[in-house]
Amino acid sequence: MTAAFRAGFWRLADPKISLASIASLFLGTAAAARDGRLAWPWLVVTVLGIFAIEVAKNASGELFDWESGNDQAVAPEDRSPFSGGKRVLVDRLLTPRETGAIAIAGYAAGVGAGLVIVLARDPRVLWFGLVGTALAYFYHAPPLRLAYRGLGELAVMIAYGPLIACGTYLVQRGTIAPYVVWLSLPLGLLIGAFLWINEFPDYRADLTAGKRTLVVRLGRMRARLVFAAILAVAFVGLVLALHAGAPWYTLLGVVGLVPAWRAARTLMRAPERTPDIVPAQAMTLLSFLLLALGAGLGLLLEHALRAAHG
């Protein structure tokens, strides 16, 4: 195994690129722990399966973005730590064959973990696995090419919000509580907002490669307004989750509003210069992590207080 291969594989599998799935996993797990004892072996299988699909998605996405010319079109001044792809092919760390092999292995491992859960734990998880795997693969791949048709943002909101959080809860509890669905929606919106702001530095490259994201379709000046609206709706949704049975303690997730507001303010002032956008990207990332952490800890706190009072 060469140093280049190890570096390329790490770019595809670096845990920090899975923060969106980790946030959703944490929220679903915290809800499941609030409502009963955790089945730790099944949680491990769930985490490994989702992580494998995440790596596979990154690898297959690199291949399709390479073929479209999208990654090659990103100008040096538009590169950021959060956008522009993993660049394992552009930087010649991996060959297309190696990248394809990683994608195949990742999808196989993820599907295998899902089948173990379906056959030995709960067959209803099958639909979550099928939808999740399809969204991961067809996010870039033909014939759907969701990211190229302005549907990638919706796919991300669904996958990293309700799909992972509710699927994790289902594996543990054998059902899905309505409040978990409602809590997962604001998280999905914030993770979708993270993708949205990451499309700003990629605007010119996406336009050149025919990747018609919603930011490309709207233009950056209008898209910045939608970005702010998504953030606002997410935190309104967190409050509305109380009416679906979420405990008041989940409002600890409102702490994510602070970086979200800073991100919106920054993007409103400078939507077209990547160096100015990078801090807003970081703040958007922090906003969804804090919402998941705050709401999840709120669920665990409520459970601990109930237990303490008998």
Q: What element of type H or E holds 62?
A: helix 40-68
CB–CB of 94/5 below 8 Å? yes
Ramachandran assignment for 177, one of left (phi > 0), alpha (psi -120 to 50 degrees), beta (any other): beta
Q: Where are the beta strands (DSSP E) in the chain?
A: none
Rounded to an integer, what distance in angstroms lies between the CA atom of residue 116 and that of residue 186? 30
3-state secondary structure of 269: helix
> What is the DSSP-derived secondary structure letter of residue 15?
G
pLDDT tier for residue 39 given thresholds of 50, 70 and 90: very high
CB–CB of 205/74 below 8 Å? yes
- Let me know if 115 is exposed, middle or buried by CB neighbors in 10 A (0-12, 13-18, 19+): middle
Contacts (Cβ under 8 Å, ≥6 apart) of 196: 153, 214, 215, 223, 226, 227, 230
Predicted confidence (pLDDT) per residue in 135-162, tens digit:
999 999 999 999 999 999 999 999 999 9
Rounded to an integer, what distance in angstroms lies between the CA atom of residue 278 and that of residue 28? 29
At 309 the pLDDT is 79
Rounded to an integer, what distance in angstroms lies between the CA atom of residue 114 and that of residue 45? 8
Count of domains for the chain:
1
Spatial CA neighbour of 164 closest among 25, 4, 47? 25
Predicted confidence (pLDDT) per residue in 157-180, tens digit:
999 999 999 999 999 999 999 999
Range of the domain at 32: 3-308
Average pLDDT, the chain: 95
pLDDT tier for residue 261 given thresholds of 50, 70 and 90: very high
- CB count within 10 Å of CB 71 equals 23
Length of the chain: 310
Rounded to an integer, what distance in angstroms lies between the CA atom of residue 20 and that of residue 25? 9
- Asked if pLDDT for residue 127 goes beyond 90, the answer is yes
- Asked if pLDDT for residue 310 goes beyond 90, the answer is no
Predicted confidence (pLDDT) per residue in 63-90, tens digit:
999 998 888 888 888 888 888 878 999 9
